[in-house]
Amino acid sequence: MLKADQFEARDTDDGSVTAWEGHLWIGKDLNKLWVKTEGERSSEGTASAEIQLLYSRAIDANWDLQFGLRHDADPDPERNWAVFGFNGVSPYWFEIDSALFIEEDGQVNLRFEAEYEFMLTQKWVLSPEVEVNWFSEDDDGLGIGSGLAEIEAGLRLRYEINREFAPYVGINYERLLGDTEDIAAAAGTDSSETQLVAGIRFWF
């Protein structure tokens, strides 16, 4: 299965940005090979690009344990991480994707993502989602401080032309927190931003 959860244009303070988030998996019920990717690109180049290669093992009907490797191609310098993840659907049908990343120099990144789908009609779907990142150490190269570093929340309304293809519009909010917010303030960078988005979601 190939699925693009997000393939969208974002109206940011610095101009238009193309963002993507998606995955590919191959396998059967118990064992799968996953490839996940996400990133952002503007007219000035790629701001971030991440790819993960994971082995996924089902531990029950709704949950998978995942482990493998993550490579950050951008921004410089490139980084490599070991990945230990937990992916599935919680009670009340929240889609959960959580992971522990351990970088080759000892940095630890905890990431938690949650998404829910409200079926307004058979075609219209309202989807709120949130992502939170925590880091164990300061990272001067990325301008990241230790502790809870950033939160991203979005609300997207899509129209499913069919189950496999759905254009959408929405709003995305990003905020830096804690030491990371202090680092951004010292550099003269805004710590929060609200973006209008438009894109397509598809799978096959």
Report whether 68 contacts 56 (CB < 8 A).
no
Q: pTM for the complete prediction? A: 0.94
Residue 168 has a CB neighbour count (10 Å cut-off) of 20
Report whether 149 contacts 176 (CB < 8 A).
yes
Half-sphere exposure of 54 (CA within 13 A, CB side): 27
Structure tokens at 94: 């929240």
- pLDDT exceeds cutoff 90 at 4: yes
Stretch (H or E) spanning 178: helix 178-186
In this prediction, residue 19 has a pLDDT band, given cuts at 50, 70 and 90, of very high
- Dihedral pair phi/psi, residue 93, rounded to 5°: 65, 40
* Rounded CA separation 2/24 (Å): 4
* Rounded CA separation 54/100 (Å): 13
* Rounded CA separation 112/104 (Å): 21
Mean pLDDT value across the chain: 96
**Model pLDDT for residues 126-161, shown as the tens digit of each residue:** 999 999 999 999 998 889 999 999 999 999 999 999
* Rounded CA separation 130/155 (Å): 9
